[in-house]
Amino acid sequence: MTTTWTGLRVLRDRNAGLYLGGVVVSGFGTSALWLASGVWVKDLTGSNGLAALCMLALWAPTLAGPLLGTLADRTRRKPLLIRTNLALAALLLTLFAVDSPGRLWLLYAVLFLYGAAGVVHDAAESALVAAAVDGPLLGDFNGLRMTATEGMKLVAPLAGAGIYAAYGGTGVALLDAVTFMLATGLYALLRVREERPGRPRGDWRRETAEGARRLWTHPRLRPLVLAGGATMLGAGLNGALIYAVVEGLGRSPAYTGVLYAVQGVGSVAVGLLSGPALRLLGARRFAGCGIALTAVAVAVRAVPSDPVALVCSAAIGAGLPCVLIAALTTVQREMPGELLGRATATAHTLLFAPNALGLAVGAALVELVDRRLLLVGLGLALLVPAVPLFQSAARAARTASRSPSDANPA
């Protein structure tokens, strides 16, 4: 009952409803393009390596998150969201020129700019949401945002594959451009009062460093972000083992799609429950419970059983987002508005960049070590970042205050 009530309160909030509508619409197009771009390159070149570069181009700008997030603090966030969506819609139309392997550079360039714009977009959106949505509803909003995002990942790739089969990559690019135009209309309807940011007081590097410093020295944020980064490192390692898990089940590689779909269902479910869970447990324990659930599920995945694999996938899908929702909600609540864009982008980098490293390390280890040993060892390792989060907040604050670097928390 509580989950339904708070979810309805978020949806009845005009600004929150418009934001979520924008997330659903643009997320549909992004998920469709995510699938189609790799298939497009594969069809033009026959190369798996070149197809994999599409994901690298999309994710690489995350490493520059702190710098890109500074832009969201230098201008009003609503106009920035609108301009970013319009720019992406126009950018995607240039993909109509990609009709041969010789023009694939244009696709990679567009994907790289797409990823960079996404970093700016997420930073501006997070800062604007913190100002427009009631504080007690931020956890519910971020949970519903996770539900919307994961829900689109379940349906959009299938739609994108169908459009690609019928109209090619340009058809998917056009679809994505249209979704950004629709999202622009929803953002334009937001009723938010924003003051024009003050004149920048320093250069980009100094402003970027300030956001990172305030995030790092905050006694409640640093443990969550560090635990989230460690967990996403483990998630990357776990993701690299997925084909070995499927092989151990005696299934074809296509069965990975089933496991990922079940994992998505778990993420959708936890998104609906995250608001009440955050209020009941607090951010630290909510994150700790999610990491612990993920750790157990990863270890039990070593059992070669279809039912066990499906249950573990659902559990990983439910556990993994907890620390992300907890960390990003706490950033929105604790950081001052003038720093929120930089702080959010820095948190995104610290949370998601380790995932790419985990994928690379896991891809190497899976060829050298038995998958069952890797899964059990990884599950035990994932418990390490969970343990400190069950420490009481008061004790954690006292521990942090004894460190000289934490003498001036935000």
Superfamily grouping for domain 1-191: MFS general substrate transporter like domains (1.20.1250.20)
Mean per-residue pLDDT over the chain, rounded: 81
**pLDDT tens for each residue of 187-221:** 888 887 766 665 555 566 776 777 678 778 888 88
What pLDDT was estimated at residue 129?
78
Helix (H) or strand (E) holding 173: helix 169-188
Ranked by mean pLDDT, the top range of 86-100, 346-360, 393-407 is 86-100
**Across 117-126, 368-377, 391-400, least confident range:** 391-400
**pLDDT tens for each residue of 212-266:** 787 788 888 888 999 999 999 998 888 878 778 888 888 876 677 678 888 888 9
Q: Please report which confidence band the pLDDT of residue 360 belongs to, taking 50, 70 and 90 as the band edges.
A: confident
Domain boundaries 203-402, corresponding CATH code? 1.20.1250.20
**pLDDT tens for each residue of 26-48:** 888 888 887 788 788 888 888 76
* Residue closest to 101 by CA, chosen among 167, 169, 175: 169
Amino acid identity for residue 270 in this structure: V
User: Which is more confident, 325 or 57?
Assistant: 325
What pLDDT was estimated at residue 240?
77
CA 34 from chain center: how many Å? 14
What pLDDT was estimated at residue 405?
39
What pLDDT was estimated at residue 180?
92
CA distance 298 to 268: 19
CA 151 from chain center: how many Å? 13
**Residue 79 pLDDT exceeds 50:** yes
Number of alpha carbons in the 13 Å side-chain half-sphere of residue 384: 12
Give percent of the chain with pLDDT exceeding 90: 25
**Residue 146 pLDDT exceeds 50:** yes
- Whether the domain at 1-191 and the domain at 203-402 fall into the same CATH topology: yes
Domain locations in the chain as residue ranges = 1-191, 203-402
Mean pLDDT along residues 163-181: 90
CA distance 203 to 249: 55
What pLDDT was estimated at residue 94?
94
**Residue 169 pLDDT exceeds 80:** yes
Structural contact between residues 39 and 51, judged by C-beta atoms closer than 8 angstroms: yes
What pLDDT was estimated at residue 7?
62
Residues contacting 296, CB < 8 A, separation 6+? 315, 379
